[in-house]
Amino acid sequence: MTTTGLSSRQQEILEFIDAQTRERGYPPSVREIGSAVGLTSPSTVHSHLATLQDRGYLRRDPSKPRALEVCLDPVSGAAVDRGTARHIPLVGEVAAGTDVLAHENIMESVPMPVEFTGEGDLFMLRVRGESMIGAGILDGDHVVVKVQPTAEPGDLVVAGIPGDEGTVKYFERDGETVVLVPANPAFQELR
């Protein structure tokens, strides 16, 4: 079923954005949209997005990448209320001891539902490696991190390691020693 006034390609794009936002909690990139609907030119994707915005199906914030919000249901055309979103900065590889949220470290801003993220200073990192597969965190996954000065034993943390950009591990203590524990028996604890 097509929504009134949209081409089949625009309908397909709108449905893809809606499905990805529901599944992942944030919308796809322009490149992901193009790949999903068979468009190789980002400018063509942008043109379709502009049309969807002009017709009221999408809301976009041009100052933020990936800031797409479906306003009208792709099938019925009815208004959609997804709740409030907040934009979480996605940071690249950051050396330990640097300001993770410094402007030069922010690659893009990813909109996510407030119900999912909660409050506080947050940022997002892409995980590299397989040390946390037992916790369901796979290579290439994105993790949302709350900035805080302390952690409790058993907490999942992103810890800065001298000479490295950081690591995702479980926080434990052995007396006064901090122990970072992987969720994969093929990896060793870090002390």
Nearest to residue 15, comparing CAs of 54, 51, 58, 56?
Answer: 58
Is 122 within a domain? yes
> For 23-71, how does the pLDDT look when each residue is reduced to its tens digit (9 = 90+)?
777 788 889 999 999 999 999 999 999 898 888 888 877 776 677 877 7
Q: Which residues contact 142 (CB under 8 A, 6 or more apart)?
A: 90, 110, 124, 125, 126, 127
Please tell me whether residues 91 and 65 are part of one structural domain.
Answer: no
Domain enclosing residue 29, as ranges: 8-70
169 is a catalytic site residue: yes
The domain that contains 120 carries what CATH number?
Answer: 2.10.109.10
> For 90-138, how does the pLDDT look when each residue is reduced to its tens digit (9 = 90+)?
886 544 444 555 455 677 777 777 777 777 888 888 888 888 899 998 8
Please tell me whether residues 99 and 56 are part of one structural domain.
Answer: no
From 70, 94, 120, the end of a domain falls on 70
From 46, 70, 94, the end of a domain falls on 70
Q: Say which of 43, 47, 64, 131 is annotated catalytic.
A: 131
DSSP-derived letter for residue 190 is B
The residues that bridge with 122 in the sheet, in sequence order, are 146
Q: Whole-angstrom Cα distance, residue 46 to residue 68?
A: 12
The domain that contains 33 carries what CATH number?
Answer: 1.10.10.10
Is 3 within a domain? no
131 is a catalytic site residue: yes
In the chain, how many domains are there?
Answer: 2
